[in-house]
Amino acid sequence: MADTFNAIAQRKWIDKFTLINDENTLISLLDRFDLGYLISPDGKLKQRTDFGLGSDLDHEDEPEPEPFCSCGSFRRQQSCLSAIRREIPDYEPCCKHIAWFKRFRDYLVKRSQLIEAQRGHNATKATAWFYAPPEIGQEHGRFSIIFTKHGQNAPITKWQQYRSDEVFTEDDAWDLFDSMIDNGYVPFPHTALPSIAHAFKQS
C-alpha cells in the first residue's frame, strides 16, 4: 500500500486525474499503467447540457444512476446482466472495489456518529491505528492499535497496546475498526495525532 509502485504512481497522478473529463480516456489511462479503477459507487450522473427554464420537467423518466466500477469483474457482470437476472431477478453487479467502498463509508458514518454522540468534545476513549504494508517476501502487512481512556491528545505514556500478544494483519482491519467503535473508542490514523505519531515505527 504505502510505497508500492501503484501507490507511488497514484500519488503522483491523483491531482491530474480530475483534469481528464472524458471517462473513457481516464479508464484507458488507468488500465494502461495499472493504476487502479474508476469507481462510481452511487452511479454516474448524466452530463446535463440543457439547463434552462423548464429543463427539469422532462427528466422524470430518466433511469436512476447505477453504481459502476471499471474493473474487469464488474464489467463482465454488466455485460451479461440480463442472463444473470433471468436466474436472479434483482441481481445488481458488484465487485470488491464497490464492496470495499461501501464498507469504508459505513465505517465513516459510524465513526461520525460516535464523535457526534460526544458532542464535539475531544474523544475521551480513543484508539490510534498503524498499518505497515507487507515486506518483500511476506504475504501480510502488520496492523497495530494503541488505545487510551485519557483523550486523543494524551501523551504516549497514557496509551496501551491493544492485545499486544497478538499479531494483526489487514485481514483483521474491518473487524478491529468495528469493535473499536462498538466499544466507544474513536479510531484515528496514528498520523492524525502528533502526540503519539512517533510511537509507531515503519519497520
Nearest distance in Å: CB 69, Zn ion? 3
Measure the CA dihedral 103/106/110/115, to 10°.
90
Selected from 30, 35, 95, 128, the binder of Zn ion by CB under 5 A is: 95
Q: 160: helix, coil or strand?
A: strand
Nearest distance in Å: CB 100, Zn ion? 9
Selected from 35, 67, 97, 190, the binder of Zn ion by CB under 5 A is: 97
Query: 54 to 73, contacts with Zn ion by CB under 5 A?
Result: 69, 71
Contact status: 186 vs Zn ion (CB under 5 A)? no
Helices 96-117 and 72-79, packing angle to 10 deg: 110
Nearest distance in Å: CB 40, Zn ion? 11
Identify the helix (H) or strand (E) that includes residue 131: strand 126-132
Query: Closer to Zn ion at the Cβ: 91 or 192?
Result: 91
Contact status: 74 vs Zn ion (CB under 5 A)? yes
Contacts of 128 (CB under 8 A, 6+ apart): 145, 146, 147, 152, 159, 187, 188, 189, 190, 192, 193, 196, 199
Query: Closer to Zn ion at the Cβ: 71 or 186?
Result: 71
Binding site for Zn ion (CB under 5 A): 69, 71, 74, 95, 97
